[in-house]
Copies of this chain bind each other. A is one copy, B any other.
């Protein structure tokens, strides 16, 4: 697999469609001053890195997040998963179908309320989750690779100060 060491010079390939804003002859006006614009560019970059590192068109970052929460919280109902990840109920259904088709999760009928299920990761699902965690950690490290350790930890703190 040639993606394992593809951290250093791969930024241009990995950024599929994002403006560069260091282009000769184009004046971006206010845009480079806006934090929001930089946030978007970083997000596009991060999403591209992760998508490439995962290397499986079916597994989106969001679907990985779902598997992560299922693995960490065995037996949650679909409504609870939907709320935890800010998904709609139909979206949750479809995403769980995806993981169920891959044998990674199972829906177990609840004895107490036969309308709903408890969602559990299978042992295959737990192995898949472990595999994805390594991949995701690597993509996140690649995202931070232009920062020092101190800068990266500052960056994480500042991000949380904004969204928490």
Contacts and interface: CB of A to CB of B under 8 A. Distances in A.
A147 B158 contact: yes
Q: Considering residues A137, A159, A160, which has the most beta carbons from chain B within 10 angstroms of its beta carbon?
A: A159
B140 A151 contact: no
A24 B87 CA distance: 18
Interface residues of A, number: 62
B133 A146 contact: no
Interface in A17-76: 17-23, 26-31, 34-43, 45-47, 49-50, 61, 65, 68-69, 71-73, 76
Given A30-B68, A147-B158, 19 more contacts: A20-B86, A26-B84, A28-B68, A29-B69, A30-B133, A30-B137, A31-B68, A34-B137, A35-B156, A35-B159, A36-B46, A36-B49, A36-B143, A38-B159, A45-B163, A143-B162, A146-B161, A151-B161, A154-B158
